[in-house]
Amino acid sequence: MGAWQAYVDNNLVGAGLTQGAILGTDHNAWSTWAASPGFTVSGAERETLLTGLEDPASAFASGIGVNGQTHLTIKADARSIHGRNGPDGVVAARADGVIVIGVYTTTITPGAAARTVEILADHLRRQRPAPAGPAGPGQPRSIACGDWPPGGAGFVSPGGGRR
């Protein structure tokens, strides 16, 4: 399992989200660095997400589209976008060179879902990975993150150990 996939598996899905992904933000070469099985974000959905993070007001007009589902935008700023579709929701947060996305259902509260995604994005931002993708120097390093996951069980590093 690659380092990026471990972040999705352990720190998004492992924290109670139903699906998650880490996407590169290069407009010319959209890439999925890691994702839950069956989770996809089309080029148009990625462009809308990135535009919404750059211009939060636009996210309210277009909504958030991921995995073929459109969610009503309920919060948007330069850091993250939150959307709902009935009882389900999505949170997308920007880090250096990537967008972290988490999808949730009634198994986790919207606040806990937002905190989970935003803490991982903050962790990656502190790592400052070069946006080279999963095969190159963009591999994240492991550091301690005391407030991960919600509930204080410790951050799960890409190697699988709790910090």
Q: 114 or 62, which is more confident?
A: 114
The CA distances from residue 61 to 23, 25, 56, 66, 124, in Å, are 22, 21, 10, 16, 29
Instruction: Evaluate whether 75 touches 60 at the Cβ level (below 8 Å).
Output: no
Q: 19 or 159, which is more confident?
A: 19
Percent of the chain, pLDDT > 70?
75
Tell me: pLDDT of 148 over 70: no
- CA 29 to chain CA centroid, nearest Å: 18
Q: What is the pLDDT of residue 84?
A: 95
Closest CA to 108 of 6, 7, 18: 18
If pLDDT is split at 50, 70 and 90, which confidence band does 35 have? very high
Work out the angle at residue 148's Cα, subtended by the Cα atoms of residues 134 and 159, and round it to the nearest 5 degrees.
Answer: 40
